[in-house]
Structure 1
């Protein structure tokens, strides 16, 4: 790991546009694949802090402040401290504003110097998508050709592009959302993008039909009721669950959880992801039935996909460790390595 410190220089600001340019999907996926096995043992990160800041005056919806810190215990090998600050204001849609805003701060862990602040929202969507794609590298069928995107929010285009990066044989992408208009917009936008000529994008009118033919199903919704049913998953399918980050949320049913081999991004998924928390509480799964996590997959300690017929699932709730690794790549790319 390179140590990038200029004592005479102040912290730099990396805006959303720059974050996009310095964290292309291929580079970030490769960085995570090589860094996760070697650095996670020296990075500490507590479970995310969540604080209710206020309640909406027009509803019972609460506003929240989330903090996700991480720091290196070995400054000579990985000299960084980082923290992501997130505000969640669900009623912002009425103001035509995003409901989630985030900033990321990175410091040098040797001196405590602030090194950079960056757009935390762009950092989050890119690292989330690349974590799913990295897991797909180990868990999905290498010859996957059909991708179903469940949800058409801010995460959807990033997940689609990241999965296409890791599985270049995909030539058919379906998009399903309760609001069909958002699907139409996303399909239209992809039709205008360069480099997508060999991929057909369509709105998925019927979720069950879409799931039944998909090689990869990626979900990024706020649903609190199951959307993907296990009986719909075809042999060899890979189910990628990104949306659920609290116990009340749920994107698939118990049958989906028990039909396949389940992997998680990190141990926090066991107490945060509604699909897992609910399955444990209902007695349909035990914690020791989780096959492994992303660290074990990247280290080769756990085997990913074993054949073309098995069903695999990946549950991701996010990680301050991956935030820090992504911020490291962005900072070192902008600041330059010595």
Structure 2
């Protein structure tokens, strides 16, 4: 095969519902191995991520840079590739566009978590942050949940309106909201996908809320207030994407919570944990296993 896929072709191979199923299949696969990722600080404030993973048939390495200083320059903050190899022959099978994989697999992980954990999967959905991840989550939730209505909050009114327009084109009711905290009262589905440079959501979510927080993936990054995180821990349940979140989940760490005590998405999928009632916070930090699932999906496996 040995194909180099551009962003459009990469996206076409990663349909949200199929990718969510591939992620669930990966969590059930005992042959999957995910070594610790390398995170290397770069001069100028950027970061290089080297993220390998493998199963009995394929091995991948995700090579991406994260450059926050690119915001507003026209250059993407995330750049790179996912290289896919056959473990038997060593042959390179695919090179996937890294930012597209990152956006699609992150949203598909949130979708799988919502399918398993959201008390009210029909929404309305509140999306805080109208960039690439906001768009990916809108498309994934629209494809995999019985969603009918979306509300969008963003620092950029133009970006929020563009995401609303996309929602309308998908047949959903949609509107821009100026105060995301106030919208919590009406929205049992919530996604925060901002650059995580400061708290964007405070206050208590609904008793039947599902909140997916995906923007913060280092101890210093944050989107949710400590008060919100502690409220969910006390009155509902917190699930992390992987146990690695104990080192990375800035929202939870800054709230003073013992992150290692929370169940992971694998625990939910494998029946080792179940929601106990009340609001659910799903904290996503990223994992090379999700990129392996995307590679398997792109290969049609």
Q: Structure 2 regions of 5+ residues with no counterpart?
A: none
Q: Counterpart in 2 of 1:75? A: none
1:257 and 1:95 map into 2 onto residues whose CA distance is 33
Deviation at 1:82, TM superposition (A): 0.5
Q: State the partner residue of 1:321.
A: 289
Matched-pair contact (CA < 8 Å) for 2:239–2:283? yes
| Deviation, structure 1 residue 91 | 3.0
Whichever of the two has the greater Rg, that structure is 1
CA contact (8 A) 1:230 1:254 kept: no
1:102 aligns with 2:80: yes
Q: How does 1:1-338 map to 2 (within 5 A)?
A: 11-37=2-28, 39=29, 41-55=30-44, 62-72=45-55, 78-93=56-71, 95-168=73-146, 170-191=147-168, 193=169, 196-197=170-171, 199-231=172-204, 233-260=205-232, 261-280=237-256, 285-287=257-259, 289-290=261-262, 292-304=263-275, 306-307=276-277, 310-330=278-298, 332-333=299-300
Ranges of 4+ aligned residues in structure 1 off by more than 4 Å: none
Structural RMSD (CA)? 1.8
Taking a change above 3 Å as real, the CA distance of residues 286 and 178 of structure 1, as seen in their structure-2 partners, is same
Question: In structure 1, what is the Cα distance between the partners aligned to 2:92 and 2:86?
Answer: 6
Contact kept? 2:22, 2:296, Cα under 8 Å:
no
| 1:136/1:166 contact within 8 Å kept | no
Structure 2 CA distance for partners of 1:288 and 1:117, relative to 1, 3 Å: closer
Query: TM-score scaled by structure 2?
Result: 0.92
Give CA deviations for 1:25-48 in whole Å, capped at 9, x if unaligned: 1111122223321x2x32222332
What is the distance in 2 between the residues matched to 1:237 and 1:100? 30
SS at match of 1:227: strand
Q: Give the deviation of 1:178 after TM superposition.
A: 1.4
